[in-house]
Structure 1
Amino acid sequence: MRNFWLLSLLSASVFADEPSPQRQQELINLLKHDCGSCHGLPPKGGLGPSLMPDALAPKTDAMLIEVIQKGRAGTAMPPWQDFLSITETAWLVEKLRQAE
């Protein structure tokens, strides 16, 4: 079942359009305020791990998208699937990989 979810996640993120410019701004705000509260500003780590490009490099997009969507049991990382589409999550992962 998990592999099916990953395959559908990958195909959805590869073929989906980008969020609208307004939604992109909302996502950047969410990244700064919600994600930044645990991962730090800049997101070099804190309660949550670093989200800097070098820390994310060994991780696949599919793994990062799954963690954001589903959360991590036993940690402070909540699931965001009720608030973020897979397309939006993939867009955020792309932005995190480009961060300077």
Structure 2
Amino acid sequence: MQHTLTQHLRRRFLEFSLSDARPGREGAFFLTGAGIGWIVLLMGVVVFSAPALAREPLALPTERARELVRMVRQDCGSCHGLTLRGGLGPALLPETLRDKPPDGLKYTILLGRPGTAMPPWQPFLSEAEADWIVAQLLRGFPEESK
């Protein structure tokens, strides 16, 4: 959502800055120094808060969180290793995922990787659940509770 909002603001700013906008012209958008300042401030808030928001896990019901931990440890672990240190698929440890964009990880989980053994999990997971999994992987995925 933040990415789309940023793109929208950039596009609108460009449209208005290239238009023949003057004070008093009806229907024209005129950016004053203060208006530009507010837009820059808003864009900064959106851009700099996006990584923090992306890493903030959704609070899932305890039972669903347990199911997802088991799914990742068992199903994902069948390729990525039961300890997630790698196998047929790459390691899913915080240090190996640190430089990957969270949205890229989420969509890899949901849509899979065509031409590889990575299947799409979208039929079984919501986007919010995929976000939760990514957040947990970036922190160090929890062990299954017995």
TM-score normalised to structure 1 length:
0.82
Query: How many pairs are equivalent?
Result: 92
Q: CA deviation at 1:19?
A: 1.9
Q: 1:80 is matched with which residue: 96, 111, 121?
A: 121
Distance between the aligned counterparts of 2:140 and 2:90, measured in 1?
A: 15
> Contact (CA 8 Å) 1:18, 1:87: kept in 2 or not?
no
**Identical residues among aligned pairs (%):** 42
Q: 1:66 is matched with which residue: 104, 107, 131?
A: 107
Q: CA deviation at 1:17?
A: 4.4
Q: 2:78 is matched with which residue: 18, 37, 42?
A: 37
Q: Specify every segment of 5 or more residues in structure 2 that has no aligned partner in the other structure, as ranges.
A: 5-49, 142-146
Distance between the aligned counterparts of 1:23 and 1:99, measured in 2?
A: 18
Question: What SS is found at the alignment partner of 2:121?
Answer: coil
Distance between the aligned counterparts of 1:86 and 1:97, measured in 2?
A: 16
Q: CA deviation at 1:28?
A: 0.2
> Contact (CA 8 Å) 2:77, 2:84: kept in 1 or not?
yes
Q: Letter of the aligned partner of 2:89 in structure 1?
A: G
TM-score normalised to structure 2 length:
0.57
> Contact (CA 8 Å) 2:57, 2:136: kept in 1 or not?
no
Q: 1:99 is matched with which residue: 115, 135, 140?
A: 140
Q: CA deviation at 1:18?
A: 2.3
Q: What is residue 56 of structure 1 aligned with on the other side?
A: 97
